[in-house]
Chains A and B, each alone.
Chain A
């Protein structure tokens, strides 16, 4: 028996209503998500699970190629570990990470982070943006000894350590970014050099001296225009979840 046209019409109308309802609810949720404070999404039991699931998908598709699927980065390539509390930039808040996702670091985007990079002191022109002195191989050795000694290495030549300390605090110019206390500056992405955590290499004499000699100049791309706003926010929240709540010092 053929269904009556009135039932067909009724079914079509029902489907249409369902589609419209789904669209309206989806839009409302999207609006609520995008207009929420990014730093509070993790604490919202309604938004957090879906955001984390979506964020992980976006992370695996776009970020894992450098930071690894587990987000632990690589000291071989100088890619930061996103799961620790040793923040290079900012304080690890989702809103700060969202800005990095959208505008990058040294990506060319005017709104991204790009205040400084590690000069290559073993080159004729260590830093393109301002005049910095090159260092001699002996000076690089002294700085290396100093940095190793403040990270607990034993057996460093005390004379070299003292000379390295003077270089760091004076004409080497290292203090300008890493601070007089050598604890870095998250406003410009200068790492803490006293905590035994190394962005590149393992803190060996060879690795430290190479960084001083050749510099570091890594880039985090800007995903604005490549990720839609909801994906960018989801991945930022996901990355913020990797390091957990900030430890109180």
Chain B
């Protein structure tokens, strides 16, 4: 049987009286608040657009979920797409440029949400390159003092020497005996060409193009002959050398060994080399830092 209406009202009033302790009321209100909180959270979770900031900062063209699209990028994009500056662009061009950039930003953010970096090699490679590029940007922005550059130059002199130059003839002998006789004749003061011809030695043709850089001479002579040629002085002939199943004699006409350039001459290369060295050191440091910070577990079978 239902209680009379007057009694229900009185009960409700009693239930709601704040100065009267009522455990059931507390629990009911708590439950209501929890349900309301969950509902708000649920709506927020599925419909949220992110916290909006008061307005778009002056240096940005738009802000997408709090990520700015820089005005300078917008201008560059417009230039790339339509070859116009903002003041020359039509409203349609401006809209199309901005829409394309907003779409790209949304897709990037969606990609991060989906974790595409775990699935796409191209994205992974790009991320690695981007982190490395950041180190390069930082290193390239450093301006070392002249003293730092000079110290670097002194400690890396070998980096600042041009290739050596040599003009050398590689003679091939019919046998060891004729090679020895030809060498002795030249060393005794006989003319090179006639001494070689007399004993049947002929140019191999490997280095007949005249003066060569060391790297080219090494390619043409091979590493064994080049190592010997490097040590010869102008006008000197080598001992007979057995290489590749043939007997060679090298006649050095001119050998200009590499000498480091002066600091003033090489300064731009010193700066470039200094920065390259700094990038390498920064990368090594970052590798170490990331390794130390990371929790890397390796499968037993691979340890």
Contacts and interface: CB of A to CB of B under 8 A. Distances in A.
* A and B: bona fide binding partners: yes
Interface of A: 27, 30-31, 33-35, 37-40, 65-66, 76-78, 93, 95, 98-99, 102, 104, 106-111, 122-124, 134, 136-138, 200, 210, 213-214, 216-219, 221-223, 226, 228-230, 232
Contacts of A76: 264, 267
Nearest to B58: A31
Q: Which of A95, A123, A138, A230 has its CB near the most chain B CB atoms (within 10 A)?
A: A95
Contacts of B163: 122-124, 213
A110 B213 contact: no
Contacts of B219: 124
Contact of B162 (A30, A34, A66, A214): A214
A138 B210 contact: yes
Interface residues of B, number: 41
B75 A38 contact: yes
Given A108-B133, A122-B213, 9 more contacts: A27-B58, A37-B85, A77-B268, A99-B72, A106-B140, A107-B141, A124-B163, A134-B216, A214-B162
Contacts of A77: 267-268, 271
16 contacts: A33-B58, A34-B59, A38-B75, A76-B264, A78-B268, A95-B75, A95-B85, A108-B140, A122-B163, A124-B216, A137-B165, A138-B210, A200-B268, A219-B272, A228-B59, A230-B59
Interface string B145-170: 00000000000000000110100000
Contacts of B76: 99, 111
Interface string B34-77: 00000000000000000000000011000000000011110110
B59 A213 contact: no
Contacts of B58: 27, 30-31, 33-35, 229
B136 A108 contact: yes
A27 B70 CA distance: 17
Given A30-B58, A34-B71, A124 B215 contact: yes
A40 B87 contact: yes
A219 B269 CA distance: 11
Across the A-B interface, give the 9 residue pairs with the lowest CB-CB distance, nearest first. A108-B136, A124-B215, A229-B59, A31-B58, A37-B87, A221-B141, A34-B58, A108-B137, A108-B133
Nearest to A215: B269
Nearest to B211: A137
Nearest to B130: A110
A111 B73 contact: yes
B287 to A, nearest CB: 17
Interface string B209-237: 11111011001000000000000000000
